[in-house]
Structure 1
Amino acid sequence: MNQKNSFSKLMAALLVVFVFTSCQATGQQNRNLKVYESSEQMLAAAKEVITEITVEDFKNTYTQADIFIIDVRTAGEHKSGAIPGAVNIPRGVLEFKIDMPGIWENTGKNPPQKDDRIFVYCSTGGRGALSAKALMQLGYENVQSLQGGFGAWNAAYPNIRE
C-alpha cells in the first residue's frame, strides 16, 4: 500500500505541475501583449508609431482654436508652468478622462472627437509619447506629441507660458 500511495502522490504532483505549466503557456499564447525588456524599449516602440512635433512647428499651431492641448504631467508640474491653453490630464488617468466634458469646460470646448487635432506633452517627451500612443489605441486619429516636452518649450519660449 505504501508504494501505491507514493505512486498516487507522484502522479498527483505531476498532474498539478502539468496543469500549472499548461495554464501559464496558454495564458502567454492567448494574450496579445508585447513585453518589453525596459521602459526605454517601450518608449522607443511608442515613438515608432506616433508623430512627434518640434517646438517650432508646435508654436506655429498651438493658438489655433481647433486643436486640443493636453498636459499629461502631474497637477503639481502643471501648476509650476504650462503651455497656454493646455488642459491638465495626468498620464495615469488620461484614457479615463479624455472624453469627460467637465475636463474641457474651461476651454469652452466639448471633448475631442476621434478626428480632432490633439497635442500632448509632458516634461521631457516620454510620457507624452506613451500618451499619444494610448490615445491612438483609443481611436484618436490626429495625435501628436511635443518633442522634448515642456522642457524644450520652456527653453525655446520661456515667456510664453501660463
Structure 2
Amino acid sequence: MKTAHDLVAAARGRIHEIDPDAAMAALAEADVVIDVREADEYTAGHIAGAINIPRGLLEFRLSSAAELDSRALRVVLYCKTSGRAALSAVAMADMGYLDVHSIAGGYDAWVAAGKPVMKPAVPSFE
C-alpha cells in the first residue's frame, strides 16, 4: 500500500523542480504562478503575483477557467514544502500542460532563502 510520501516521491521523479534562486527567473517569465496551499495559508503570506488555487480544487479550476485553458502556459507552482505542488505538477502534466515548474522546498524554502513575500497589512487601531 502506498503512502502520501510514496506518491510525492514518485511525483518528484516526473516533474521539474527548481530551487528558489532559479524560481526568481522562472517567476519573471511565468504566465501564471499558482499557490496550491489552502486559503488561510495563502492569506498569511504568499509570493507576489501568485493566485491561490488549493490542491483539492486545481483540476476543476483549470478545467473551468478560460484564462488557464492554454496548455502552453508557463506555470510555476508552490505549496508549503513542495509535496502538494509536486502532486499538482503531475496532475497538470497529465492534463496536457507542457511547461510546469515546482519550487523545491516550497514556500518555506522561499522564505528561508530570504526571497520577497506578500503579507497582509495589520490594521492600526491607534
Indicate conservation of the 8 Å contact 1:89/1:98, yes or no.
Answer: no
SS of 2:13 mapped into structure 1: helix
Q: Computing the radius of gyration over CA atoms, which structure comes out larger, 1 or 2?
A: 1
* Aligned: 1:130 with 2:94: no
Higher relative contact order (CA 8 A, sep 6+): 2
Deviations 1:11-43 (A, max 9, x none): xxxxxxxxxxxxxxxxxxxxxxxxx52111111
Indicate conservation of the 8 Å contact 1:73/1:122, yes or no.
Answer: yes
Gaps of 5+ in 1: 1-35, 103-109
Say which of 59, 65, 77 aligns to 2:24. Answer: 59
Gaps of 5+ in 2: 119-126
Letter in 1 for 2:28: T
* Aligned: 1:155 with 2:119: no
SS of 2:27 mapped into structure 1: coil
Greater Cα shift, 110-119 or 124-133: 110-119
Using the aligned pairs only, state the percent identity. Answer: 38
Count residues in correspondence. Answer: 118
Structure 1 residues 61, 131: closer, same or farther in 2, change over 3 A?
same
How far is the alpha carbon of 1:93 from its aligned partner? Answer: 0.3
Indicate conservation of the 8 Å contact 2:26/2:76, yes or no.
Answer: no
Indicate conservation of the 8 Å contact 1:68/1:112, yes or no.
Answer: no
Q: TM-score normalised to the size of structure 2? A: 0.86
Distance (Å, rounded) in 2 between the aligned partners of 1:37 and 1:101:
32
Deviations 1:78-122 (A, max 9, x none): 0000000000000000000024448xxxxxxx3251011111100
Q: Which has the higher helix share?
A: 1
Say which of 48, 65, 70 aligns to 1:113. Answer: 70
Structure 1 residues 112, 119: closer, same or farther in 2, change over 3 A?
farther
Q: TM-score normalised to the size of structure 1? A: 0.68
